[in-house]
Structure 1
Amino acid sequence: MKTLKDAASLNIDWNLAPEDAVTLYLEWGNNNWHAEHAPVRSKDDFATYFVVDNWEEKPTLRLVRRNSEQAVDLLVLDLPKDLEEEFKKEHEGLKGLYSPSEKIKDWLKKEIYA
């Protein structure tokens, strides 16, 4: 995958946070059938979702496909400058993986589905 447009045919879970992905795929049985995301039943279950990776100096956006065995980056890109600055201000340099903000999601959807 080279551009966001290439993601248009994927079933992206816009509400899956990185911590929820860990609960679903790495800590089996830690969620219930009444939660927003049904429990994982096999290694054939997978999710595709975005995270903002802030472990390096500059935050990057990752489109991740995860199952119980691995997480694969399908696409890695820089945030647009305005969204990068807003992200940095909001998270004050704290390292980690974050869910995209609503503004980032809006930008992604516009880029993918326009």
Structure 2
Amino acid sequence: MQTQHDLSGLVIDWDMTPEDAVTLYLEWGNNSWHAQHKPVTSKNDFSTYFVVNTWTGEPKLSLVRRNSEDCVELASFEIPEDLAKDFMAEVGFNKGVYAPTGAIKQWLQNKYFN
């Protein structure tokens, strides 16, 4: 059963990846002022972005908010079966935490942000 999500008012960083988030929020000072994402300057800096977790063998899409102290899951989403299969093939059926593919981002934008 799909849960209803009220995502109005959220500013989503569509370009944030799990790797970028670790660099920004857990390895302060490890990125340049000239990079796409500006360095964190306080605990009040945060990003809201999507990740796909495959540790259970099935891809789970989550909206997370991260700062230098915490990462909170704001919502989870069931990925359509065709997109889930394509995603798992694209990541080689490996377990991990990944950025969503372009197809998953497009699906999210069409379904929740139009």
TM range (shorter): over 0.9
Extract unaligned runs of 5+ from structure 2: none
Q: 2:101 is matched with which residue? A: 101
Separation in 2 of the partners of 1:3 and 1:51?
18
Q: 1:3 is matched with which residue? A: 4
Q: Counterpart amino acid of 1:3?
A: Q
**What's the TM-score once normalised by structure 2's chain length?**
0.94
Extract unaligned runs of 5+ from structure 1: none
Q: 2:22 is matched with which residue? A: 22
Q: Alpha-carbon deviation of 1:112? A: 1.4
Q: Are 2:50 and 2:62, in contact at CA under 8 Å, matched by a contact in 1?
A: yes
- Using the aligned pairs only, state the percent identity: 53
Q: Are 1:33 and 1:39, in contact at CA under 8 Å, matched by a contact in 2?
A: yes
Q: Number of aligned pairs?
A: 112
Other structure's SS at 1:68 match: coil
**What's the TM-score once normalised by structure 1's chain length?**
0.94
Higher helix content, 1 or 2: 1
Other structure's SS at 1:7 match: coil
Q: Are 2:59 and 2:84, in contact at CA under 8 Å, matched by a contact in 1?
A: yes
How large is the Cα RMSD of the aligned pairs? 1.0
Identify which range, 90-99 or 37-46, moves more after superposition. 90-99
Q: 1:113 is matched with which residue? A: 113
